[in-house]
A = this chain, B = another copy of it.
Amino acid sequence: MPVRPLLALAAPLALAACASSRPPPAAPVPYRSMGDILQASAPSDWRPLREEDAVVLELPGGRVVIELAPDFAPRHADNVKALVRGGYLDGLAVLRSQDGFVVQWGDPDGDEPGKARPYPRGAERKLPAEFTRPAAGLAFHRLPDPDGFAPETGFVQGFPAARDPRSNAAWLAHCYGAVGAGRGEEADSSTGAELYVVIGQAPRQLDRNITVVGRVVDGMEVLSVIPRGPPPMGFYEKAEQRIPIRSARLVADLPAAQRPRLQILRTETATFDAMVESRRNRRDAWYKVPAGHVDLCLVPIPVRAAP
């Protein structure tokens, strides 16, 4: 909430009488903020970062941690891991920073035969599109709020996702921090060698049009402040404007002392549900009108340093 700098944060208060579009509960309960709820969480509400499926990028501005989503994009996740393990990304660079949309990295000469950096052993140059997957078999924790882009939205093990019961399809949603695999016009032209990260208003029109391969779980503030390239698409015009990727490593391959020790709130827990409700209806002293609604991409997915 935008407040004056010296104002203390509002204390939790019972505000059942404030102007909401929903009726107040019969027995008013004290409002619990997201901070209160997380503080009262149990250790079992959190899961560790999956180290075999997590990548650390080192940029001049700091460290970025990406968790891959093999449940949604197994072939792309495997290929990203093979590329990272083969050192493919080391010394490549952020090539694009488009305000309100994405930053994107890869090989600037990737489309020029003879100049393109060779793929390491084990990385494939051709993959199927992984835009959607069958919804069956997926532990989909549904968000009750309506959504304009999908019949249903929710969370799958810490990833914002969507689902269409009629077609039995599920897919990852393009929320802030989503990591996708850049492609050309052909649906199956992505390999994971070139990745983009959403830094602006959730571009949900990309859903089901491109393979989402993971999510930034730490270090978004390193990516989001990268100077923008020229409009309309934000590709830098000069090589020296590019932001180098010093290294990319699988977390599981790092020495133990260098691994990020992160925990992610389990999105299938009552703690997470309580947090969502605290965002849907803010009933602290600052908010005068609770929204009665939350958007999929406005729901924070808490990450913390392992205690």
Contacts and interface: CB of A to CB of B under 8 A. Distances in A.
Interface of A: 1-7, 10, 35, 95-96, 99-100, 102, 104, 106, 108, 110-112, 131, 145-149, 175-176, 180, 182-185, 187, 189, 194, 196, 200-210, 220-221, 224-228, 232-233, 235, 279, 282, 285-291, 293-295, 297-298
Q: Counting chain B CB atoms within 10 Å of each CB, which of A7, A146, A148 scores highest?
A: A148
A18 to B, nearest CB: 10
Contacts of A111: 4-7
B96 A5 contact: yes
Top 10 nearest A-B pairs (CB, nearest first) are A2-B196, A6-B111, A221-B228, A148-B293, A99-B221, A205-B291, A2-B182, A225-B225, A208-B289, A7-B184
A167 to B, nearest CB: 10
Contacts of A225: 224-228
Nearest to A226: B225
Contacts of A202: 201, 295, 298
Contacts of A148: 145-148, 293-295
Q: Counting chain B CB atoms within 10 Å of each CB, which of A3, A224, A225 scores highest?
A: A3
A207 B2 contact: no
A291 B149 contact: yes
A4 B194 contact: yes
B3 A176 contact: no
A39 to B, nearest CB: 13
Given A176-B100, A176-B201, A294-B205, A4 B184 contact: yes
Given A2-B206, A4-B183, A6-B112, A201 B285 contact: no
Contacts of A1: 206, 209-210
A3 B99 contact: no
A2 B234 CA distance: 11
A182 B204 CA distance: 30
A220 B146 contact: no
26 contacts: A2-B104, A3-B182, A3-B184, A4-B184, A5-B106, A6-B110, A6-B112, A99-B220, A99-B224, A100-B176, A100-B220, A100-B224, A146-B148, A147-B148, A149-B295, A175-B201, A187-B288, A201-B201, A202-B295, A205-B279, A205-B290, A209-B286, A209-B288, A209-B289, A221-B228, A225-B225
Q: Counting chain B CB atoms within 10 Å of each CB, which of A5, A104, A208, A297 scores highest?
A: A5
B235 A5 contact: yes
B99 A7 contact: no
Contacts of A194: 4
A294 B205 CA distance: 8
Contacts of A209: 1, 286-289
A195 to B, nearest CB: 9
A7 B96 CA distance: 13
